[in-house]
Amino acid sequence: MTGLQLLTGGEAVAHAMRQIDPDVVPVYPITPQTPIIQGFAKFVADGRAGTEIVNVESEHSAMSAAIGAALAGARTMTATSSQGLALMAEVVYIAASMRAPIVMAVGNRALSGPINIHCDHSDSMLVRDSGVVQLFAENAQEAYDLTLLAPRLAEHPDVLLPVLVCQDGFTITHSAEPVELLPDDVARRFVGEYRIPHAALDVARPTTQGPFAMPDYYYEFRRQQGAAIEGAAAVLADLAEELEALTGRRLGALEDYRLDGAETALVALGSTAGTVKDVVDELRAEGDEVGLLKLISFRPFPAAAVAAALEDVESVVVLDRADSPGGAPPLRAEVAAALYGSGCRLDGSVYGLGGRDLHPADVRALLAGTVPTHVGLRGPACHA
Amino acid sequence: MSRLKTLVRNERGVPPLRGGHSLCQGCGVPLVVRTVLDTIASPVVVVNATGCLEVATTRYPTTAWNVPWLHVAFENAAAVASGVETAQRALRRRHALPADEDVAVVVFAGDGGTYDIGLQALSGALERGHRFLFVCYDNEAYMNTGVQRSGATPFGASTTTSPAGSESWGKAQQRKDMTAIAVAHHVPYVAQAAATHWHDLSVKVERAVAADGPAFLNVLTDCPVGWGHEPRLFKQVLDTAVDCRYWPLYEVVDGDYRLTYTPAQPVPVADWLALQSRFAHLLRPENAAVVADIQAQVEREWDELVGRCGEV
Amino acid sequence: MGELTSWTDLPAGGAVSPAGAPRTATGGWRTGERPETDLSRCVNCLLCWIYCPDSAITLDGETFTGVDLEYCKGCGICAEVCPEDAIAMVAE
Q: Which residues of C touch B201 (CB under 8 A)?
A: none
Q: Which residues of A touch B120 (CB under 8 A)?
A: 57-58, 61
pLDDT tens digits, residue range B42-69? Answer: 999 999 999 999 999 999 999 999 999 9
Tell whether C33 is within 8 A of chain B (Cβ).
no
Answer for the pair A368, A264: CB distance below 8 angstroms, yes or no. no
Same domain as A344, residue A279? yes
Who among B47, B73, B91 is closest to A73 (CB)? B91
Kindly report the nearest CA distance between residue A173 and chain B, in angstroms: 27
* CB–CB contact C51 B65 (8 Å): no
Same domain as A132, residue A57? yes
* CB–CB contact C22 B7 (8 Å): no
Distances (CA, A) of B261 to A173, B124, B197, B201, B225: 59, 30, 9, 11, 28
Same domain as A260, residue A243? no
Same domain as A221, residue A268? no
Side chain identity, residue A325: P
Whole-number pLDDT of residue A380:
86
Side chain identity, residue A243: L
Task: List the one residue out of A55, A54, A116 whose CA is nearest residue A81.
Answer: A116
Distances (CA, A) of A144 to A106, A140, A357: 12, 6, 24
Kindly report the nearest CA distance between residue C80 and chain A, in angstroms: 33
Query: How far is residue B223's CA from residue B25's CA, in Å, rounded to a whole number?
Result: 10
pLDDT tens digits, residue range A298-354? Answer: 999 999 999 999 999 999 999 999 999 999 999 999 999 999 999 999 999 999 999
* CB–CB contact B67 A206 (8 Å): yes
Whole-number pLDDT of residue A382:
72
Same domain as A272, residue A166? no
The list of chain B residues with pLDDT below 50 reads 312
Query: How far is residue A362's CA from residue A254's CA, in Å, rounded to a whole number?
Result: 23
* CB–CB contact C14 A221 (8 Å): yes
Residue A189 within any structural domain of the chain = yes
Answer for the pair C53, B29: CB distance below 8 angstroms, yes or no. yes
Same domain as A208, residue A106? yes
Taking 70 as the threshold, does the pLDDT of residue C2 lie above it?
Answer: no
What is the Cα Rg of chain A in Å? Answer: 20
Query: How far is residue A169's CA from residue A116's CA, in Å, rounded to a whole number?
Result: 11
Same domain as A237, residue A114? yes
Q: What is the DSSP letter of A355?
A: G
Sorted by where each begins, the domain ranges of chain C are 28-91
Compute φ and ψ for A160, nearest 5 degrees.
50, 60
Same domain as A196, residue A294? no
Query: How far is residue A105's CA from residue A36's CA, in Å, rounded to a whole number?
Result: 8
- Which domain CATH number covers A270? 3.40.50.920
Residue of chain C with shortest Cα separation from B27: C53
Sorted by where each begins, the domain ranges of chain B are 3-309
Answer for the pair B25, C27: CB distance below 8 angstroms, yes or no. no
Tell whether B68 is within 8 A of chain C (Cβ).
no
Residue A218 within any structural domain of the chain = yes
Same domain as A187, residue A206? yes
Query: How far is residue B287's CA from residue A181's CA, in Å, rounded to a whole number?
Result: 75
Whole-number pLDDT of residue C3:
78
Q: Which residues of C touch A212 (CB under 8 A)?
A: none
CATH number for the domain formed by residue range(s) B3-309: 3.40.50.970
Angle at alpha carbon of residue A234, lines to A146 and A68, rounded to 5°: 60
DSSP bridge pairs for B28: none
Alpha helices by DSSP H, listed for chain B, are 3-11, 29-39, 52-57, 77-93, 119-128, 178-183, 198-210, 224-227, 234-243, 269-273, 288-309
Instruction: Given the cut 0.90, state whether the ipTM is greater than it.
Output: yes
Residue A374 within any structural domain of the chain = no
Query: How far is residue B69's CA from residue A201's CA, in Å, rounded to a whole number?
Result: 10
| Enclosing domain of residue A285 | 255-368
Residue A373 within any structural domain of the chain = no
Residue of chain B with shortest Cα separation from A93: B72
Who among A205, A210, A220 is closest to C10 (CB)? A220
Q: Three-state SS for A128?
A: coil
Same domain as A194, residue A98? yes
The list of chain A residues with pLDDT below 50 reads none
- Which domain CATH number covers A100? 3.40.50.970
Whole-number pLDDT of residue B312:
47
Q: What is the DSSP letter of C29?
A: G
Looking at domain C28-91, its CATH class is alpha beta
Who among C5, C7, C13 is closest to A99 (CB)? C13
Query: How far is residue C55's CA from residue C52's CA, in Å, rounded to a whole number?
Result: 5
Single pTM value for the model: 0.97
Tell whether C91 is within 8 A of chain A (Cβ).
no
pLDDT tens digits, residue range C19-59? Answer: 989 999 999 999 999 999 999 999 999 999 999 999 999 99
Task: List the one residue out of B217, B215, B225, B221 whose CA is nearest residue B242.
Answer: B221
